[in-house]
A and B are shown apart, each in its own frame.
Chain A
Amino acid sequence: MNQPGPGMESDDILIRMIDVHKAFGKTKILRGLSLELERGKTLGLMGGSGTGKSVTLRHVIGLITPDAGVVEVDGNDLAKLSKKELSALRRRMGYVFQEGALINWLTVAENLALPLQENTNLSKAEIDDKVQEKLELVHVPDAGAKFPTEISGGMKKRVGLARALITDPEIVLYDEPNAGLDPQIAASINDLIRELSDKLEVTAMVVEHRIECLKRVADEVIFLFEGKALIRETTADFFQPTHPRLKAFLGVP
């Protein structure tokens, strides 16, 4: 069994968490989580409800700061970055929110264009091209003029994915990319996630409950239990569990 932690040295570690603790009020969510992720790899995160999967992702992008421990992205300790530096680092990252988190009073196209308008000097035509390209990538080419309230939950999710990809990020964090999607669309989204990491060397972390998703996209999977990474295996081994807790979680006899 491959235990995660600072022992696993590699030159090209892009994301590193060392002994991260986080509590909300009296509820301790993370209790000494450590993990490392190499450039270009996709790491799946599994675990029961409330074990801190989304909290882990939010730490990586600096939406949550740890009570104790260190979160590093590309060698930068997030806690020590200035607002400007964090903002610059985030431009290299994308985050796919569970419910899409689209701005309600902007159209789908405006939602996608927003990060480009705010942080780049691209012309309107260039932005429009990019928006259309990403909408086609997630199979909603005609949704541009619609408002988020006019599209289905699954479409919102895909638009959220398109928005996360609009800046061509090096790191993408996916919070349940398959939830609320029908199997066919889910499969195509999973193919897309895989393709991004294969072709563009995108480094990714994927929180997901669906086994078929992680089997398709992840190189390795971590099982979070009691606020720590209890098990880390290659995807093939992860779904042939030997550990009793993981067996129980996956429902394998």
Chain B
Amino acid sequence: MMQDSVMPFANALSEVPFLGELLILAFAAGVGYVLWQLRSFQDSLAEFGFRIELAVQVFARVHHITKRRRWVLSQLYGSGIQNMHVVLLVGLFIGMIFALQTGIELARFGQQDQIGVIVATGMAREMGPFITAVILAATVGSALAAELGTMSVSDELSALDVMSVDAISFLVMPRVIALMVIAPLLTVVCDTVAIFGGGFVARSQLHVGWSLYFDSAIQALQTYGAVIPLPKDVYAGLFKAFIFGGIVAVISCSCGLKARGGALGVGRATSRAVRDSIIAVIIANYFLTWFIYQS
């Protein structure tokens, strides 16, 4: 079957005139493009190195946390409580979409009673931590980059340097810690409202009863992991959120610290923070999933 569909394409390809020349041309263009981009590739590598270094420096200063507790708490409030409504709203609709999409398909096979399972595991494993990380990147990450970026371009970071105040301990560490704490908490909120949103759709549009939906959802989340005696899907999702929080905070702070050149530079740093955070979260998500679920 597979071959049937591939062959006509291969046949058609063999009839293209100057195919070899075209391929060589395309290859040359590719090489040229790579060479042209090499500089930005080098910059990206340097940037990556800076972020890894920043992360290491932050964790080397975690013991300053009691001295910085005031800033950690204010960051927790700023990143957590002030974005709660976004998580509630987005989580609710994600759960509703999830239930609707899977429910329509499942209904064709008479499997609507599985909606709760799919929404609950899907949210706990993947969507909850990911959506929370995206929300945090867009709200807190952008704010961190703008805040530190403004400090950078208005000489405040230089002032800290001159006063022998360690900017990583004073500025970056509390923000990273706060986001690593708040991301799993918001994920729990996101998962919970999403399951309720899914239940609402299941009941109103797919005619699945509350109790059936919630029983199957709760049942699905009670598979215990081999390593830690806790429901695996839940703690795996929370662990992901914990890592995502760190990634978003470190990348956003690094963009802010590196901002140069006035308002324009702050703008660039902010958009870069959001873009790079989301990309890094997606890539990290794959590796974490592989790490957690491979066995």
- The residue among A87, A91, A163 with the most chain B CB atoms within 10 A of its own CB is A87
| CB-contact partner of A115 in B154, B155, B156, B164, under 8 A | B164
Interface of B is mostly: helix
Whether the Cβ atoms of B165 and A102 lie closer than 8 Å is: no
Q: Is A93 an interface residue (CB 8 A)?
A: yes
Q: Is B16 an interface residue (CB 8 A)?
A: no
Interface flags, B132-161, vs A, CB<8A=1, else 0: 000000000000000000110011101111
Considering only CB atoms, which chain A residue lies closest to B162 in the complex?
A: A95
Q: Is B227 an interface residue (CB 8 A)?
A: no
Chain B residues within 8 Å of A95, by CB: 159, 162
A119 to B151, CA, bound (A): 21
CB proximity of A201 to chain B, nearest CB, Å: 21
A-B CB contacts (within 8 Å), total count: 51
Considering only CB atoms, which chain A residue lies closest to B163 in the complex?
A: A115
- The residue among B151, B155, B161 with the most chain A CB atoms within 10 A of its own CB is B155
Interface flags, A70-103, vs B, CB<8A=1, else 0: 0000000000000000011011011101110111
Q: Is A61 an interface residue (CB 8 A)?
A: yes
Q: Is A63 an interface residue (CB 8 A)?
A: yes
Chain B residues within 8 Å of A90, by CB: 161-164
Considering only CB atoms, which chain B residue lies closest to A61 in the complex?
A: B162
Q: Is A242 an interface residue (CB 8 A)?
A: no
- The residue among B150, B158, B170 with the most chain A CB atoms within 10 A of its own CB is B158
Whether the Cβ atoms of B163 and A114 lie closer than 8 Å is: yes
A39 to B150, CA, bound (A): 36
Q: Is A118 an interface residue (CB 8 A)?
A: yes
Chain B residues within 8 Å of A115, by CB: 163-165
Whether the Cβ atoms of B165 and A98 lie closer than 8 Å is: no
A61 to B159, CA, bound (A): 11
Q: Is A152 an interface residue (CB 8 A)?
A: no
A118 to B160, CA, bound (A): 10
A168 to B158, CA, bound (A): 19
Chain A residues within 8 Å of B151, by CB: 103-104
Considering only CB atoms, which chain A residue lies closest to B166 in the complex?
A: A118
Considering only CB atoms, which chain B residue lies closest to A84 in the complex?
A: B164
A99 to B151, CA, bound (A): 12
A114 to B164, CA, bound (A): 10
Whether the Cβ atoms of A63 and B158 lie closer than 8 Å is: yes
A134 to B158, CA, bound (A): 21
A101 to B160, CA, bound (A): 9
Interface flags, B153-188, vs A, CB<8A=1, else 0: 011101111111110001000000000000000000
Interface flags, A111-122, vs B, CB<8A=1, else 0: 000110011000
A61 to B155, CA, bound (A): 14
CB proximity of A80 to chain B, nearest CB, Å: 18
Whether the Cβ atoms of A91 and B155 lie closer than 8 Å is: no
Chain B residues within 8 Å of A58, by CB: 158
A129 to B166, CA, bound (A): 24
A124 to B26, CA, bound (A): 69
Chain B residues within 8 Å of A101, by CB: 154-156, 158-159
| CB-contact partner of B164 in A87, A97, A102, A104, under 8 A | A87
Chain B residues within 8 Å of A103, by CB: 151, 156, 159-160
List A residues at the B interface (Cβ < 8 Å). 58, 61, 63, 87-88, 90-91, 93-95, 97-99, 101-104, 114-115, 118-119, 163
User: Ordered nearest first, which 3 A-B pairs have the shortest CB separation?
Assistant: A101-B155, A101-B159, A115-B163
A-B contact pairs, 19 of them (CB 8 A): A61-B162, A63-B161, A63-B162, A87-B164, A88-B164, A90-B164, A97-B155, A97-B158, A97-B159, A98-B155, A101-B156, A104-B156, A115-B165, A118-B163, A118-B164, A118-B166, A118-B170, A119-B163, A119-B164
List B residues at the A interface (Cβ < 8 Å). 150-151, 154-156, 158-166, 170
